[in-house]
């Protein structure tokens, strides 16, 4: 008898891959202001490094700007430095109380670069799905050797895993296409 948990575990792992991909895409600038642009920026504060969101309030007053208001004014300089050192590509304006980020419109060349980044991340995600499929198929082969699972059960399970893989690859493609459209249209 084949363990039905193998297929459900595979689907859970595939769902997690999609979530990681979605989170990765949030950090890609599309010409619109979003606090997610700052998710990967780490600030040195109180003797350790932490995300900006843990030391300041981040708001988006309009589609082209972000305002960062630290809870403690002493970390303002650290936030400023962290943004300048990051790969965000936006120059912070520090007025002594808050930091403003003006999101410039993307150039045509930069849009093309960003769509390439999206495609690369999508391909990496698809590779992770294929690795999950390979791992599950290997597990199914082991099950065949050690349990009383029939050839038909293994074949059916392998087909289910392939259908899951195809389904999630399509999800990756749809998410990537949506993000590319968002980047192109700005």
Looking at 102, 123, 154, which one is the last position of a domain?
102
Looking at 53, 76, 102, which one is the last position of a domain?
102
Is residue 21 located within the same domain as residue 50?
Answer: no
Is residue 181 located within the same domain as residue 114?
Answer: yes
Is residue 138 located within the same domain as residue 153?
Answer: yes
Q: Check residue 164 and give its pLDDT.
A: 93
Which residues form the domain of 161?
A: 5-26+107-185
Looking at 45, 70, 102, which one is the last position of a domain?
102
Is residue 166 located within the same domain as residue 129?
Answer: yes
Cα–Cα distance between 44 and 53 in angstroms, integer?
12
Write down the pTM of the prediction: 0.71
In three-state secondary structure terms, 12 is helix
Cα–Cα distance between 37 and 31 in angstroms, integer?
11
Is residue 70 located within the same domain as residue 22?
Answer: no
CB distance 163 to 174 below 8 Å: no
Cα–Cα distance between 97 and 122 in angstroms, integer?
40
| Residue 31 backbone class (left: φ over 0; alpha: ψ -120 to 50; beta: rest) | left
Tell me which residues of the chain have a pLDDT lower than 50.
Answer: none
Is residue 85 located within the same domain as residue 145?
Answer: no
Is residue 44 located within the same domain as residue 98?
Answer: yes
Total structural domains in the chain? Answer: 2
Q: Check residue 184 and give its pLDDT.
A: 83
Cα–Cα distance between 153 and 156 in angstroms, integer?
5
Residue 96 sits in a domain of what CATH number?
3.30.1360.40
Is residue 83 located within the same domain as residue 112?
Answer: no
Is residue 126 located within the same domain as residue 86?
Answer: no
Residue 119 sits in a domain of what CATH number?
1.10.132.20
């Amino acid at each position: 008898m084949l363990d039905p948990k193998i297929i459900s575990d595979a689907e859970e792992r595939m769902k997690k891959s999609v979530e990681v991909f979605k989170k990765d895409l949030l950090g890609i600038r599309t010409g619109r202001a979003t606090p997610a642009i700052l998710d990967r920026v780490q600030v040195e504060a109180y003797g350790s490094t932490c995300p900006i969101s843990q030391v300041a309030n981040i708001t988006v007053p309009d589609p082209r700007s972000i305002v960062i208001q630290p809870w403690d004014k002493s970390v303002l300089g650290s936030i400023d430095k962290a943004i300048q050192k990051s790969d965000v590509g936006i120059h912070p304006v520090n007025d002594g109380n808050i930091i403003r980020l003006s999101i410039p419109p993307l150039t045509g060349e930069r849009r093309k670069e960003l769509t390439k980044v999206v495609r690369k991340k999508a391909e990496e995600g698809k590779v992770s799905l294929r690795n999950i499929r390979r791992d599950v198929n290997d597990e199914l082969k082991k099950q065949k050797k050690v349990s009383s699972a029939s050839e038909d059960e293994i074949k059916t399970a392998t087909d289910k895993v392939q259908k899951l893989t195809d389904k999630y690859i399509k999800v990756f493609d749809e998410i990537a296409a949506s993000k590319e459209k968002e980047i192109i249209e700005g």
